Amino acid sequence: MSFDDEHSPYSELAQPSEEINSLAHRVIGIAITVHRELGPGLPEIAYENALAIEFQDHGICFRRQLRLVVEYKGQPVASVRVDFLIEEKLVLEVKSVETLHPIDRRQVIRYLKILKLPLGLLINFNVMILKQGIHRVFRAEAEPE
């Protein structure tokens, strides 16, 4: 079997554009700056506030605690809040927890599905080295609306 015939496990994921990948890279760099300054162990709000300051300083447009409506059979049943919607293109969910759980990733996927975006970042600041807390989350294109 040649490589051309292989089915990629990533083919069903929404692929972000180069622009979105570049934006994600900038956001990760800013998150690393914040983590280097504040370190782990603070409440989420501390990291959210510091990120907002950095985004403003870097001229990055964002919305915080954006309310999203969850629908069932076309009817609103709940609302949720995404920590950051950056440049209307990238979801950022901030955590400061001992351990991330699968539900945390599903939460970001839900936001991506509602917003019809391909990529989100789930960043847990409660780690010694931030690289260990950064997770890129993709929306599956095959998911039903």
Q: If you compute the radius of gyration of the chain from its CA atoms, what whole number of angstroms results? A: 16
As a whole number, mean pLDDT of residues 68-88 equals 94
Predicted confidence band at 13 (pLDDT cuts at 50, 70, 90)?
A: low
Predicted confidence band at 16 (pLDDT cuts at 50, 70, 90)?
A: confident
**What's this model's pTM, rounded to 2 decimal places?**
0.85
**Of 32-36, 118-122, 140-144, which gets the smallest average pLDDT?**
140-144
pLDDT score, position 7: 44
pLDDT at 8 over 70: no
Amino acid code (one letter) for 56: Q
Q: Partners of 124 in the beta sheet?
A: 95
Predicted confidence band at 67 (pLDDT cuts at 50, 70, 90)?
A: very high
Question: Cα angle vertex 16, ends 54, 22, to 5°?
Answer: 35
Which burial class, exposed, middle or buried, applies to 54 when counting CB atoms under 10 A from its CB (0-12, 13-18, 19+)? middle
Order of strands, sheet of 62-72, starting from the edge strand that comes earlier in the sequence: 62-72, 75-86, 90-95, 119-124, 134-138
Integer CA distances (angstroms), 138 to 16, 91, 94, 106, 141, in order: 8, 10, 16, 10, 9
